[in-house]
């Protein structure tokens, strides 16, 4: 594919260069001589411009082809509360989403970049996070004798993987390997809208759509056939808060909120830092502009003139003062 693109780019460059040079030669009467000379003297710059334009057109065509893809339904935009510069992520939703992940998703999908210390203060208290970490067994070592040993988990340990290796995961899921969910929201086009639509979009396949055994129909998945079954359903998880109904859409919303947080645990801190930097920079820029106007306005607006008459007059006055000083000195010496 890369070689085809390079060949296409080289052919397009040659044809464009030839057309421009031929056009410049054929229209000598109307075109300016400087423009023709510039084209002939700067072939590298012309080549760079041609390749840049071709690359831009290619990327635009690929993006349009993805947007207009017919093998999946594009997810509708949802009104997420954490979007926006002044909006923080829903911590209660993150806690409920972690419960959904732990009870439903963790049996197949991993979160290999999230440690138990990340959960403390957000999804769990520090004591709860320590208790959950101690519930797993981690192989550590080697010790002083060079042997590996098992120990209880710590806050610094990462969440365990459901499968020891990829081959074991594929064999347990009909050849499909469940992806890691640490950055799944950032890695999929559509973000949280796509993940929410995928979790709630299972339905019966249309007439004439053939599904292999072990696959399920989901119009939001490319191709329509997905190996993951419908796991998010009404009341598959019981919330401690009785005011929140564990419906399928609520469970999907909460687990997507948790995955948004997992993809960027420091997202709220970055927003706060951006607000602080913006406010401080605005204040400092205002002071800098005021000092610049105050200190440099006189230097920038001054004018220096050269007047020979004034210079000659000043030189005569200086020579006269020097002669008078010399004569007064001689008179003092005579006395």
Task: Return binding residues for heme c.
Answer: 105, 108-109, 228
Alpha-carbon span 208 to 52, nearest angstrom: 44
The annotation places the binding site at: 105, 108-109, 228
* Residues 299-305: contacts with CB under 8 Å, at least 24 apart: none
Classify residue 232 as exposed, middle or buried by CB count within 10 Å of its CB (0-12, 13-18, 19+): buried
Question: Do 152 and 134 form a contact (C-beta atoms < 8 A)?
Answer: yes
Q: How far is CA 122 from the centre of its chain?
A: 23
Cβ atoms 46, 13 nearer than 8 A = no
Contacts of 13 (CB under 8 A, 6+ apart): 47, 50, 51, 54
Which one, of 233, 231, 185, 198, lies nearest residue 89 by Cα? 185
Task: Check: CB of residue 110 under 8 Å from CB of residue 181.
Answer: yes
Task: Return the SS3 of 150.
Answer: strand
Contacts of 224 (CB under 8 A, 6+ apart): 71, 72, 205, 209, 217, 218
Angle at which helices 33-41 and 43-67 cross, to 10°? 80
Query: Is the distance from CB of 103 to CB of 278 less than 8 angstroms?
Result: no
Of 206, 207, 208, 205, nearest to 226 (Cα)? Answer: 205
Q: Which residues pair with 115 in a beta bridge?
A: 158
């Amino acid at each position: 594919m890369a070689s085809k693109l390079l060949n296409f780019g080289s052919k397009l460059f040659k044809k464009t260069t030839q057309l421009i040079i031929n056009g410049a030669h054929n229209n000598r009467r109307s075109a300016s001589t400087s423009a023709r000379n510039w084209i002939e003297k700067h072939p590298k710059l012309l080549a760079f411009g041609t390749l840049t334009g071709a690359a831009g057109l290619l990327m635009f065509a690929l993006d349009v082809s993805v947007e207009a893809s017919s093998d999946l339904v594009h997810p509708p935009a949802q009104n997420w509360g954490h979007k926006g510069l002044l909006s923080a992520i829903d911590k209660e939703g993150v806690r409920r989403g972690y419960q959904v992940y732990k009870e439903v998703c963790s049996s197949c999908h991993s979160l290999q970049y999230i440690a138990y210390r990340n959960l403390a203060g957000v999804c769990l208290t520090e004591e709860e996070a320590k208790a959950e970490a101690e519930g797993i067994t981690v192989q550590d070592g080697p010790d002083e004798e060079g042997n590996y040993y098992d120990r209880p988990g710590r806050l610094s340990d990462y969440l365990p993987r459901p499968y020891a290796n990829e081959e074991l995961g594929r064999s347990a899921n009909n050849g499909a390997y469940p992806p890691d969910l640490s950055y799944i929201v950032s890695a999929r086009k559509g973000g949280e809208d796509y993940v929410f639509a995928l979790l709630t979009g299972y339905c019966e396949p249309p007439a004439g759509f053939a599904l292999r055994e072990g696959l399920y129909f989901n119009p939001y998945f490319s191709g329509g056939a997905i190996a993951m079954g419908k796991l998010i359903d009404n009341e598959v998880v019981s919330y401690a808060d009785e005011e929140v109904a564990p419906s399928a859409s609520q469970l999907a919303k909460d687990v997507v909120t948790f995955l948004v947080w997992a993809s960027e645990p420091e997202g709220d801190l970055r927003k706060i830092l951006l607000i602080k930097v913006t406010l401080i920079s605005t204040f400092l820029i205002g002071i800098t502009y005021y000092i610049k106007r105050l200190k440099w306005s006189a230097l920038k607006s001054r004018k220096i003139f050269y007047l020979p008459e004034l210079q000659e007059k000043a030189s005569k006055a200086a020579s006269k003062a020097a002669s008078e000083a010399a004569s007064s000195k001689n008179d003092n010496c005579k006395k």
